[in-house]
Amino acid sequence: MVRLPNAIGIGAAKTGTTWLFKCLQRHPQVFMAACKETNFFSYGTIEGRLPEYAEHFRGSDGAVAVGEISTRYLTSELAPARISAHVPRARLFVSLRNPVEQVYSHYWHLRRQNFHEWDGRTPPASLEEAVDRYPGRLLEPARYAGHLQRWLEHVGGSRLHVILYDDIVRDPGRVLRDLYRYLGVDESFLPEDAARVSADVRRGTSPRGAGFERAHTLVYRALSVQVYYRLKAILGVRRAVALKDSLRIRQGMERVFFRAGYPAMSPATRQFLVDGLRSDIDHLESLTGRSLAAWRAS
């Protein structure tokens, strides 16, 4: 018998979803897929593949909430209808961040991990150059209102719990209590390191220098293709993820190649992003009923 999730986080990227994932993992009544970012419902085709997806939730018997978080779902054109059809009773949640900060954080994440995979060119030297070269990759994920509108048309407001990253930073305990209550699990449980994890989320990383950035790209690619993909084929997804996490390879690489925090955003860059995202912020404010005035400040 296939058991599918009844709790799904749909995004957004760089908004504290890793912290939410860890806090849900630690809850005794919650079972989370070992692999954050299964991305199943955003695949090109899923026909006949539900048993493959269900493997992520093997061993979840007895859990009140069974879930996953995949940040690609928020922007996916396919995921809303598919989730509505295949897991119609699933409770969905989304975390949203000031899109100006989200784009900036996402830019540094891509500097660390993904730019080199797209077209083989030298990574863009500035955020403005990155937006000019890859507008769909950087700006579109942060245009939350359009994506949220699509989800609401499929699932309705009662099945979509909205979290603001600002609230994670300000009061992580309340955010968790509200989320646990929404998912129907014991809201009094609080992971011991909840506050510390949220602090880790806020910090981010940036390259120590151009040479370190190039070296990290080569090492990351080799580990991903030559080691991790093969481990998943041999051990299965859950065991491979558990082994990777226990070895703390990502954390070790970040200590070697990166430093904590990002360079300060220049006023010109902030204004550039505010101007490009202002209308979407206005729309999102009307959809959520939350004041987002601080997000429009340049």
Residue 151 lies in a domain: yes
Average of per-residue pLDDT across 103-123: 74
Pairing of strands 91-96, 65-69: unpaired
For the ranges 100-104, 121-125, 268-272, the lowest mean pLDDT is seen at 121-125
Q: Is the pLDDT of residue 237 over 80?
A: no
Residue 278 has pLDDT above 70, yes or no: yes
Would you say residue 298 has pLDDT above 70?
Answer: no
In tens, the pLDDT along 123-136 reads 788 888 988 888 88
**Whole-angstrom Cα distance, residue 254 to residue 123?**
18
Which long-range CB contacts under 8 A does 16-21 form with residues at least 24 apart? Answer: 16/95, 16/97, 16/163, 16/165, 16/168, 16/198, 16/201, 17/69, 17/71, 17/95, 18/201, 19/168, 19/172, 19/197, 19/198, 19/200, 19/201, 20/69, 20/93, 20/95, 20/163, 20/168, 20/179, 21/69
- Structural domain including 192 reads 7-101+139-203+276-296
Rounded CA separation 119/72 (Å): 20
User: Which range among 29-38, 175-184, 194-203, 228-237 shows the weakest confidence by mean pLDDT?
Assistant: 194-203
Would 43 be classed as within a structural domain? yes
The backbone torsions φ and ψ at residue 213, rounded to the nearest 5 degrees and listed phi first, read -65, -45
Looking at the domain assignment, is residue 223 inside a domain?
no
Domain for residue 120, yes or no? no
Residue 130 inside a domain? The answer is no
pLDDT at 223: 76
Q: Is position 247 within any domain?
A: no
Q: Indicate left, alpha or beta for 176 from its phi (over 0: left) and psi (-120 to 50: alpha).
A: alpha
Cis, bond preceding 12 (omega within 30 deg of 0): yes
The answer to whether residue 42 sits within a structural domain is: yes
Task: Answer whether residue 192 is part of any domain.
Answer: yes
CATH number at residue 21: 3.40.50.300
Tokens of 261: 């925090």
What total of structural domains would you count in the chain? 1
CA angle 99, 181, 32 (to 5 degrees): 75
